[in-house]
Amino acid sequence: MSTQPMARSNSALYPHPFSKAYWKQAAGEFRKTNVLVFAALMIALRVALKPLSIPVGLELRINTAFFINAFGAMVFGPVVAIVAGGITDVLGCMLFPSGPYFLPFILTEIAGSVIFALCFYRTEVTAGRVILSRFCIDFFVNIVMTTPLMVWYYDIFYGRYYAIFDMARIAKNLAMFPLESVLLILFLRAVIPPAQRLGYVHSGVEKLRFTRRNVAVLVALAVVGVLAVAGYSLYSYNNTSLSASYTDEERLERNMSMNDIVRERHPEWTDETVSVIERAMPHFGVPDVVYTVAVYAVDEAQLEANAAEALEKDPASTYGMETLNGYSKSEARGDDALVSLGMATIVVDSGSGEVVSYEDDIAP
Protein backbone atom coordinates (compact mmCIF):
# COMPACT_ATOMS: atom_id res chain seq x y z
CA MET A 1 0.00 0.00 0.00
CA SER A 2 1.33 3.41 -0.93
CA THR A 3 2.41 5.77 1.83
CA GLN A 4 1.79 8.86 -0.31
CA PRO A 5 -1.19 11.13 0.32
CA MET A 6 -4.27 10.54 -1.76
CA ALA A 7 -4.14 14.12 -3.00
CA ARG A 8 -1.31 16.60 -3.20
CA SER A 9 -3.05 19.50 -1.50
CA ASN A 10 -3.86 20.98 1.84
CA SER A 11 -6.72 18.50 2.04
CA ALA A 12 -4.43 15.51 1.55
CA LEU A 13 -5.61 12.20 2.98
CA TYR A 14 -3.36 9.31 3.96
CA PRO A 15 -4.27 5.62 3.90
CA HIS A 16 -2.43 5.01 7.19
CA PRO A 17 -0.13 6.86 9.62
CA PHE A 18 3.04 4.94 8.66
CA SER A 19 4.34 7.75 6.52
CA LYS A 20 6.91 10.52 6.96
CA ALA A 21 4.60 12.91 5.13
CA TYR A 22 1.78 12.07 7.54
CA TRP A 23 3.81 12.95 10.62
CA LYS A 24 5.21 16.07 8.97
CA GLN A 25 1.63 17.16 8.31
CA ALA A 26 0.64 16.36 11.92
CA ALA A 27 3.59 18.29 13.39
CA GLY A 28 2.78 21.23 11.12
CA GLU A 29 -0.58 21.69 12.86
CA PHE A 30 1.30 23.50 15.64
CA ARG A 31 2.04 26.32 13.21
CA LYS A 32 -1.63 26.96 12.43
CA THR A 33 -3.28 29.52 14.67
CA ASN A 34 -6.81 28.38 13.85
CA VAL A 35 -5.92 24.78 14.78
CA LEU A 36 -4.40 25.84 18.10
CA VAL A 37 -7.48 27.92 18.92
CA PHE A 38 -9.66 24.95 18.01
CA ALA A 39 -7.52 22.66 20.19
CA ALA A 40 -7.90 25.05 23.13
CA LEU A 41 -11.68 25.00 22.64
CA MET A 42 -11.70 21.19 22.55
CA ILE A 43 -9.62 21.04 25.74
CA ALA A 44 -12.06 23.38 27.50
CA LEU A 45 -15.05 21.31 26.36
CA ARG A 46 -13.42 18.03 27.38
CA VAL A 47 -12.62 19.36 30.85
CA ALA A 48 -16.13 20.79 31.25
CA LEU A 49 -17.75 17.52 30.17
CA LYS A 50 -15.56 15.25 32.32
CA PRO A 51 -18.01 15.15 35.27
CA LEU A 52 -21.03 14.80 32.95
CA SER A 53 -22.27 11.42 31.81
CA ILE A 54 -25.36 9.85 30.24
CA PRO A 55 -26.98 7.05 32.27
CA VAL A 56 -27.87 4.06 30.08
CA GLY A 57 -28.52 1.38 32.68
CA LEU A 58 -27.68 0.13 36.14
CA GLU A 59 -24.27 1.59 37.02
CA LEU A 60 -23.59 2.15 33.30
CA ARG A 61 -22.87 5.67 32.08
CA ILE A 62 -21.42 7.18 28.93
CA ASN A 63 -18.85 9.91 29.57
CA THR A 64 -19.68 12.59 27.02
CA ALA A 65 -16.11 13.94 26.90
CA PHE A 66 -14.96 11.14 24.60
CA PHE A 67 -17.07 12.54 21.73
CA ILE A 68 -15.15 15.82 21.93
CA ASN A 69 -11.87 13.95 22.27
CA ALA A 70 -12.54 12.00 19.05
CA PHE A 71 -13.64 15.06 17.09
CA GLY A 72 -10.71 17.17 18.26
CA ALA A 73 -8.14 14.46 17.51
CA MET A 74 -9.60 14.07 14.03
CA VAL A 75 -8.96 17.77 13.36
CA PHE A 76 -5.54 18.42 14.91
CA GLY A 77 -3.85 15.02 14.68
CA PRO A 78 -1.65 12.87 16.92
CA VAL A 79 1.13 15.37 17.68
CA VAL A 80 -1.18 18.10 19.00
CA ALA A 81 -3.27 15.33 20.63
CA ILE A 82 -0.36 14.42 22.91
CA VAL A 83 -0.20 17.97 24.29
CA ALA A 84 -3.99 18.37 24.39
CA GLY A 85 -4.40 15.09 26.27
CA GLY A 86 -1.79 16.07 28.87
CA ILE A 87 -3.32 19.51 29.45
CA THR A 88 -6.81 17.99 29.71
CA ASP A 89 -5.68 15.54 32.37
CA VAL A 90 -3.98 18.20 34.52
CA LEU A 91 -6.85 20.70 34.26
CA GLY A 92 -9.46 18.00 34.85
CA CYS A 93 -7.74 16.87 38.05
CA MET A 94 -7.35 20.46 39.25
CA LEU A 95 -10.98 21.43 38.64
CA PHE A 96 -12.67 18.10 39.44
CA PRO A 97 -10.34 16.22 41.82
CA SER A 98 -11.38 12.70 42.82
CA GLY A 99 -8.36 11.87 44.96
CA PRO A 100 -4.62 12.55 45.15
CA TYR A 101 -3.15 13.62 41.81
CA PHE A 102 -1.11 10.84 40.23
CA LEU A 103 0.95 11.99 37.25
CA PRO A 104 1.22 8.59 35.45
CA PHE A 105 -2.55 8.68 34.83
CA ILE A 106 -1.77 11.35 32.24
CA LEU A 107 -0.59 8.50 30.01
CA THR A 108 -4.11 7.08 29.68
CA GLU A 109 -5.55 10.46 28.70
CA ILE A 110 -2.81 10.95 26.11
CA ALA A 111 -3.16 7.38 24.80
CA GLY A 112 -6.89 7.81 24.19
CA SER A 113 -6.34 11.06 22.28
CA VAL A 114 -3.54 9.59 20.16
CA ILE A 115 -5.58 6.49 19.26
CA PHE A 116 -8.45 8.64 18.04
CA ALA A 117 -6.01 10.79 16.05
CA LEU A 118 -4.31 7.80 14.42
CA CYS A 119 -7.69 6.43 13.37
CA PHE A 120 -9.34 9.66 12.17
CA TYR A 121 -6.75 12.35 11.30
CA ARG A 122 -6.18 13.03 7.60
CA THR A 123 -7.78 9.78 6.52
CA GLU A 124 -11.11 8.57 5.25
CA VAL A 125 -13.15 7.98 8.38
CA THR A 126 -15.03 4.67 8.24
CA ALA A 127 -17.28 2.77 10.61
CA GLY A 128 -14.52 0.15 10.91
CA ARG A 129 -12.03 2.77 12.10
CA VAL A 130 -14.52 4.03 14.68
CA ILE A 131 -15.12 0.53 16.02
CA LEU A 132 -11.38 -0.19 16.13
CA SER A 133 -10.65 3.07 17.97
CA ARG A 134 -13.24 2.36 20.67
CA PHE A 135 -12.01 -1.21 21.11
CA CYS A 136 -8.40 -0.07 21.51
CA ILE A 137 -9.40 2.53 24.09
CA ASP A 138 -11.89 0.43 26.06
CA PHE A 139 -9.72 -2.68 26.08
CA PHE A 140 -6.06 -1.70 25.77
CA VAL A 141 -6.20 1.72 27.50
CA ASN A 142 -9.04 1.41 30.04
CA ILE A 143 -8.29 -2.20 30.99
CA VAL A 144 -4.76 -3.32 30.07
CA MET A 145 -3.00 0.04 30.58
CA THR A 146 -5.02 1.42 33.47
CA THR A 147 -4.85 -1.65 35.73
CA PRO A 148 -1.10 -1.54 36.58
CA LEU A 149 -1.38 2.22 37.09
CA MET A 150 -4.21 1.64 39.57
CA VAL A 151 -2.08 -0.95 41.40
CA TRP A 152 0.76 1.58 41.62
CA TYR A 153 -1.60 4.38 42.70
CA TYR A 154 -3.21 2.38 45.52
CA ASP A 155 0.17 1.17 46.75
CA ILE A 156 1.62 4.70 46.94
CA PHE A 157 -1.32 6.64 48.36
CA TYR A 158 -3.27 4.05 50.33
CA GLY A 159 -0.70 1.37 51.07
CA ARG A 160 -3.14 -1.24 49.85
CA TYR A 161 -3.22 -3.77 47.08
CA TYR A 162 -5.57 -2.94 44.23
CA ALA A 163 -7.16 -6.09 42.82
CA ILE A 164 -5.49 -6.62 39.46
CA PHE A 165 -8.68 -7.98 38.03
CA ASP A 166 -11.21 -5.27 38.90
CA MET A 167 -14.24 -7.04 37.46
CA ALA A 168 -16.76 -4.22 37.91
CA ARG A 169 -14.65 -1.64 36.06
CA ILE A 170 -13.64 -4.08 33.33
CA ALA A 171 -17.16 -5.40 32.80
CA LYS A 172 -18.42 -1.84 32.36
CA ASN A 173 -15.81 -1.10 29.69
CA LEU A 174 -16.68 -4.25 27.76
CA ALA A 175 -20.40 -3.61 28.09
CA MET A 176 -20.09 -0.02 26.87
CA PHE A 177 -17.82 -0.76 23.89
CA PRO A 178 -20.56 -1.65 21.33
CA LEU A 179 -22.87 1.17 22.41
CA GLU A 180 -20.09 3.76 22.45
CA SER A 181 -19.00 2.66 18.97
CA VAL A 182 -22.51 3.12 17.55
CA LEU A 183 -23.01 6.49 19.24
CA LEU A 184 -19.63 7.74 18.05
CA ILE A 185 -20.48 6.80 14.48
CA LEU A 186 -23.74 8.76 14.74
CA PHE A 187 -21.94 11.71 16.34
CA LEU A 188 -19.29 11.87 13.61
CA ARG A 189 -21.92 11.62 10.89
CA ALA A 190 -23.48 14.74 12.40
CA VAL A 191 -20.33 16.86 12.95
CA ILE A 192 -18.17 15.98 9.95
CA PRO A 193 -20.25 17.73 7.22
CA PRO A 194 -20.20 21.22 8.85
CA ALA A 195 -16.55 20.75 9.91
CA GLN A 196 -15.70 19.75 6.33
CA ARG A 197 -17.34 22.88 4.95
CA LEU A 198 -15.23 24.97 7.34
CA GLY A 199 -12.07 23.20 6.19
CA TYR A 200 -11.29 21.52 9.53
CA VAL A 201 -11.68 17.95 8.31
CA HIS A 202 -11.18 16.44 4.88
CA SER A 203 -13.13 13.20 5.04
CA GLY A 204 -16.74 12.67 4.15
CA VAL A 205 -19.30 10.45 5.85
CA GLU A 206 -19.86 8.08 2.95
CA LYS A 207 -18.24 5.15 4.76
CA LEU A 208 -19.73 5.89 8.16
CA ARG A 209 -22.50 3.41 7.51
CA PHE A 210 -23.70 0.35 9.40
CA THR A 211 -23.08 -2.71 7.26
CA ARG A 212 -23.17 -6.41 8.01
CA ARG A 213 -19.40 -6.44 7.92
CA ASN A 214 -19.19 -3.65 10.51
CA VAL A 215 -21.68 -5.41 12.78
CA ALA A 216 -19.66 -8.62 12.45
CA VAL A 217 -16.44 -6.79 13.36
CA LEU A 218 -18.16 -5.17 16.34
CA VAL A 219 -19.44 -8.52 17.61
CA ALA A 220 -16.10 -10.25 16.96
CA LEU A 221 -14.11 -7.64 18.87
CA ALA A 222 -16.59 -7.75 21.75
CA VAL A 223 -16.20 -11.56 21.91
CA VAL A 224 -12.40 -11.27 21.76
CA GLY A 225 -12.47 -8.79 24.64
CA VAL A 226 -14.73 -10.99 26.76
CA LEU A 227 -12.64 -14.12 26.12
CA ALA A 228 -9.38 -12.30 26.86
CA VAL A 229 -10.74 -10.90 30.10
CA ALA A 230 -12.30 -14.24 31.11
CA GLY A 231 -9.00 -16.02 30.48
CA TYR A 232 -7.02 -13.48 32.44
CA SER A 233 -9.63 -13.56 35.20
CA LEU A 234 -9.20 -17.30 35.60
CA TYR A 235 -5.40 -17.04 35.51
CA SER A 236 -5.34 -14.13 37.95
CA TYR A 237 -7.75 -15.80 40.36
CA ASN A 238 -5.69 -18.98 40.47
CA ASN A 239 -2.32 -17.23 40.75
CA THR A 240 -2.91 -14.19 42.95
CA SER A 241 -2.69 -14.59 46.70
CA LEU A 242 -5.76 -13.40 48.56
CA SER A 243 -3.48 -12.14 51.32
CA ALA A 244 -2.22 -9.36 49.04
CA SER A 245 -5.57 -7.57 49.35
CA TYR A 246 -6.09 -8.04 53.11
CA THR A 247 -6.80 -4.94 55.17
CA ASP A 248 -4.87 -4.60 58.44
CA GLU A 249 -7.91 -5.87 60.35
CA GLU A 250 -8.38 -8.84 58.02
CA ARG A 251 -4.70 -9.79 58.23
CA LEU A 252 -4.75 -9.68 62.03
CA GLU A 253 -7.91 -11.81 62.18
CA ARG A 254 -6.70 -14.40 59.68
CA ASN A 255 -3.20 -14.66 61.15
CA MET A 256 -4.66 -15.31 64.59
CA SER A 257 -7.06 -17.86 63.12
CA MET A 258 -4.13 -19.69 61.51
CA ASN A 259 -2.22 -19.52 64.78
CA ASP A 260 -5.13 -21.20 66.58
CA ILE A 261 -5.12 -24.00 64.00
CA VAL A 262 -1.36 -24.50 64.33
CA ARG A 263 -1.48 -24.58 68.15
CA GLU A 264 -4.28 -27.15 68.09
CA ARG A 265 -1.78 -29.45 66.36
CA HIS A 266 0.88 -28.67 68.95
CA PRO A 267 -0.78 -28.80 72.38
CA GLU A 268 2.68 -29.18 73.98
CA TRP A 269 3.49 -25.53 73.29
CA THR A 270 3.24 -23.21 76.30
CA ASP A 271 5.06 -20.15 75.01
CA GLU A 272 3.61 -17.48 72.74
CA THR A 273 3.68 -18.13 68.99
CA VAL A 274 2.77 -16.06 65.95
CA SER A 275 1.58 -17.43 62.63
CA VAL A 276 1.76 -15.22 59.53
CA ILE A 277 0.00 -15.99 56.25
CA GLU A 278 2.50 -15.73 53.41
CA ARG A 279 0.15 -16.90 50.67
CA ALA A 280 -3.56 -17.71 50.41
CA MET A 281 -4.20 -19.39 47.08
CA PRO A 282 -7.75 -20.04 45.85
CA HIS A 283 -8.73 -22.21 42.91
CA PHE A 284 -11.58 -21.39 40.54
CA GLY A 285 -14.66 -23.54 41.15
CA VAL A 286 -13.26 -25.07 44.35
CA PRO A 287 -14.11 -23.69 47.81
CA ASP A 288 -10.76 -24.71 49.31
CA VAL A 289 -8.10 -22.08 49.96
CA VAL A 290 -4.49 -23.22 50.48
CA TYR A 291 -2.70 -21.14 53.13
CA THR A 292 1.08 -21.13 53.36
CA VAL A 293 1.84 -20.02 56.91
CA ALA A 294 5.13 -19.07 58.57
CA VAL A 295 5.17 -20.04 62.25
CA TYR A 296 7.31 -18.12 64.75
CA ALA A 297 8.20 -18.37 68.43
CA VAL A 298 8.24 -15.05 70.30
CA ASP A 299 11.47 -13.95 71.98
CA GLU A 300 9.93 -12.24 75.01
CA ALA A 301 13.11 -10.37 75.98
CA GLN A 302 13.58 -9.02 72.47
CA LEU A 303 9.90 -8.11 72.30
CA GLU A 304 10.22 -6.01 75.46
CA ALA A 305 13.39 -4.36 74.15
CA ASN A 306 11.73 -3.54 70.83
CA ALA A 307 8.68 -2.15 72.62
CA ALA A 308 10.84 0.11 74.80
CA GLU A 309 12.75 1.34 71.75
CA ALA A 310 9.50 2.02 69.91
CA LEU A 311 8.20 4.06 72.85
CA GLU A 312 11.35 6.16 72.86
CA LYS A 313 10.85 6.99 69.22
CA ASP A 314 7.09 7.47 69.51
CA PRO A 315 5.34 7.80 72.90
CA ALA A 316 2.08 6.77 71.21
CA SER A 317 3.54 3.48 69.95
CA THR A 318 1.37 0.39 70.49
CA TYR A 319 4.03 -2.15 69.47
CA GLY A 320 3.31 -5.49 71.10
CA MET A 321 1.77 -8.90 70.50
CA GLU A 322 -1.05 -7.43 68.44
CA THR A 323 1.55 -5.83 66.18
CA LEU A 324 3.27 -9.18 65.67
CA ASN A 325 -0.01 -10.97 65.00
CA GLY A 326 -0.94 -8.41 62.36
CA TYR A 327 2.30 -8.70 60.39
CA SER A 328 2.60 -9.38 56.69
CA LYS A 329 5.23 -11.75 55.34
CA SER A 330 7.97 -9.11 54.93
CA GLU A 331 7.24 -7.42 58.26
CA ALA A 332 7.47 -10.69 60.17
CA ARG A 333 10.78 -11.60 58.57
CA GLY A 334 12.20 -8.21 59.52
CA ASP A 335 11.32 -8.32 63.25
CA ASP A 336 14.03 -9.90 65.43
CA ALA A 337 11.49 -10.64 68.18
CA LEU A 338 10.23 -13.49 66.02
CA VAL A 339 12.18 -16.74 65.74
CA SER A 340 11.21 -19.04 62.87
CA LEU A 341 9.89 -22.46 63.83
CA GLY A 342 8.95 -23.62 60.32
CA MET A 343 6.17 -23.56 57.75
CA ALA A 344 2.66 -24.97 57.74
CA THR A 345 0.33 -25.67 54.81
CA ILE A 346 -3.32 -25.42 55.80
CA VAL A 347 -6.22 -26.09 53.45
CA VAL A 348 -9.49 -24.51 54.59
CA ASP A 349 -12.99 -24.76 53.14
CA SER A 350 -13.84 -21.10 52.55
CA GLY A 351 -17.54 -21.80 52.91
CA SER A 352 -17.63 -23.71 56.18
CA GLY A 353 -14.27 -22.58 57.59
CA GLU A 354 -13.36 -26.21 58.32
CA VAL A 355 -9.77 -27.40 58.00
CA VAL A 356 -9.58 -29.84 55.09
CA SER A 357 -5.94 -30.78 55.57
CA TYR A 358 -2.90 -29.75 57.60
CA GLU A 359 0.83 -30.38 57.44
CA ASP A 360 3.93 -28.67 58.71
CA ASP A 361 7.68 -29.09 58.91
CA ILE A 362 7.94 -28.00 62.56
CA ALA A 363 10.09 -30.33 64.61
CA PRO A 364 8.32 -31.78 67.68
Report pLDDT digits (tens) over 50-68: 888 777 665 567 788 999 9
Q: Return the pLDDT at 7.
A: 40
Supply the mean pLDDT for the chain.
Answer: 88
Rg value, the chain, Cα: 28
The tens digit of pLDDT for each residue in 107-120 reads 999 999 999 999 99
Q: Return the pLDDT at 57.
A: 60
Where is pLDDT greater, at 77 or 203?
77
Residue 16 per-residue DSSP state: S
Rounded to an integer, the average pLDDT of 28-41 is 93
Helix axes 127-135, 167-197, angle to 10 degrees: 150
Give residue 124's region: left, alpha or beta (phi > 0; psi -120 to 50).
Answer: beta
pLDDT band at 98 (very low <50, low <70, confident <90, very high): confident
The tens digit of pLDDT for each residue in 277-286 reads 999 998 777 8
Q: Are 192 and 209 in contact (CB under 8 A)?
A: no
Q: In the chain, what are the domain boundaries?
A: 20-240, 244-360
Rounded to an integer, the average pLDDT of 311-318 is 92
Q: What is the share, in percent, of the chain residues with pLDDT greater than 90?
A: 61
Query: DSSP letter string over 122-155?
Result: TS---HHHHHHHHHIIIIIIIIIIHHHHHHHHHH
What CATH class does 20-240 carry?
mainly alpha
Most confident of 8-17, 136-145, 150-159: 136-145
The tens digit of pLDDT for each residue in 252-276 reads 999 999 999 999 999 999 999 999 9
Query: Which parts of the chain are beta strand (E)?
Result: 53-57, 60-63, 273-283, 286-298, 338-349, 355-360
Burial class of residue 343 in the structure, from the number of CB atoms within 10 Å of its CB (0-12 exposed, 13-18 middle, 19+ buried):
middle
Half-sphere exposure of 134 (CA within 13 A, CB side): 27
Q: Using CA atoms, how far apart are residues 347 and 357, in angstroms rounded to an integer?
A: 5
pTM passes above 0.75: no
Q: Return the pLDDT at 154.
A: 81
Distances (CA, A) of 247 to 100, 147, 178, 346: 20, 20, 37, 21
Which of 59-73, 82-96, 181-195, 292-306 has the weakest average pLDDT? 59-73
**Does residue 310 carry a pLDDT above 60?**
yes
Residue 14 per-residue DSSP state: -
**Does residue 354 carry a pLDDT above 70?**
yes
Q: Are 108 and 70 in contact (CB under 8 A)?
A: no
**Does residue 45 carry a pLDDT above 80?**
yes
